[in-house]
């Protein structure tokens, strides 16, 4: 009970520190933040209830050489329950639309099976995640390490994005695969492989 109260107060201080550093961020008291010094936000950013912006700058007592960085562009909207777990770099471009219950993580636990728990392996930090401007991410999408989602692409609800998606593509499923590309001359999303 006391621990819970202490954690809640500590989180409130982290959120205050974040909103002070990022006056363009609009959120509410349910936001959970870890290490706000590594988070930056543009103007007119809305992060909905139950979201979590979490950074790690060390693992099992060892500090990383390069600190983590969450960077959220101007005009980004996240409906609710967005979780970002960042030990490396997660960059969200301007005007990205993020539906509910989206999860992004830019690291894995080291995969040696020789330890008692995978927690004991060093953290495997990736080169990061980049979501370019104007992307729309559907409900319940999971975005894994080393992924870039190109400008204006659409990720369908429930997709697990394991590989990069080029710009102006629509991708769905697990693993996410491109099903359509935007044809600017026809102003239509065209099935891939179909004229
Ligand atoms: C990806 C999406 C935008 C595509 O919409 P659409 O162009 O109307 O797509 P269609 O319904 O014509 O489906 C095209 C094909 O993709 C499949 N598909 C569509 N969405 C899919 C999804 N999320 N996961 C898996 N397959 C999907 C369809 O089954 C269909 O397959 P088929 O050609 O074999 O029949 C839409 O399905 C989606 O997932 N939207 C996200 C909704 C959401 O999260 N809203 C929150 C508001 S912020």
Q: Are 126 and 106 in contact (CB under 8 A)?
A: yes
Polymer length of the chain: 195
- Residue 178: strand, helix, or coil: strand
Question: Which one-letter DSSP state was computed for residue 165?
Answer: B
pTM summary value: 0.95
Tally the domains of the chain.
Answer: 1
Minimal-distance CA residue to ligand 1 atom 15: 179
* Interacting residues of 74 by C-beta distance below 8 A, sequence separation 6+: 24, 42, 43, 44, 45, 94, 95
Minimal-distance CA residue to ligand 1 atom 8: 156
Minimal-distance CA residue to ligand 1 atom 43: 138
Greatest distance between any 2 Cα atoms in the chain: 64
Question: 97: domain CATH number?
Answer: 2.160.10.10
- 110 CB under 6 A from ligand 1? no
Pocket probe for ligand 1: among 79, 177, 179, the residue whose CB has the most ligand atoms within 8 Å is 179
Query: Pick the residue with more confidence: 16 or 161?
Result: 161
Range 42-46 average pLDDT: 97
Give residue 193's pLDDT band: very low, low, confident or very high (50, 70, 90).
low
Q: Are 89 and 109 in contact (CB under 8 A)?
A: no
Domain range spanning residue 158?
2-191
């Amino acid at each position: 009970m006391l621990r819970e109260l202490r954690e809640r107060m500590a989180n409130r201080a982290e959120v205050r520190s974040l909103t002070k550093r990022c006056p363009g961020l609009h959120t509410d008291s349910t936001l959970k933040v870890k290490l706000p010094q590594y988070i930056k936000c543009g103007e007119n950013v809305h992060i909905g209830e139950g979201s979590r912006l979490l950074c790690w700058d060390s693992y099992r007592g060892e500090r990383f050489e390069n600190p983590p960085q969450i960077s959220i562009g101007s005009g980004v909207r996240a409906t609710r329950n967005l979780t970002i777990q960042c030990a490396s770099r997660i960059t969200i471009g301007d005007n990205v639309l993020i539906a509910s219950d989206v999860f992004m993580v830019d690291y894995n636990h080291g995969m040696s099976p020789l330890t008692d728990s995978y927690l004991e392996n060093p953290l495997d930090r990736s080169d990061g995640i980049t979501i370019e401007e104007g992307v729309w991410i559907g409900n319940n999408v999971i975005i894994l390490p080393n992924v870039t989602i190109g400008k204006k692409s659409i990720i369908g609800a429930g997709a697990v994005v394991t590989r990069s998606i080029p710009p102006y593509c629509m991708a769905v499923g697990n693993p996410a695969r491109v099903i359509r590309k935007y044809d600017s001359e026809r102003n239509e999303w065209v099935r891939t492989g179909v004229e």
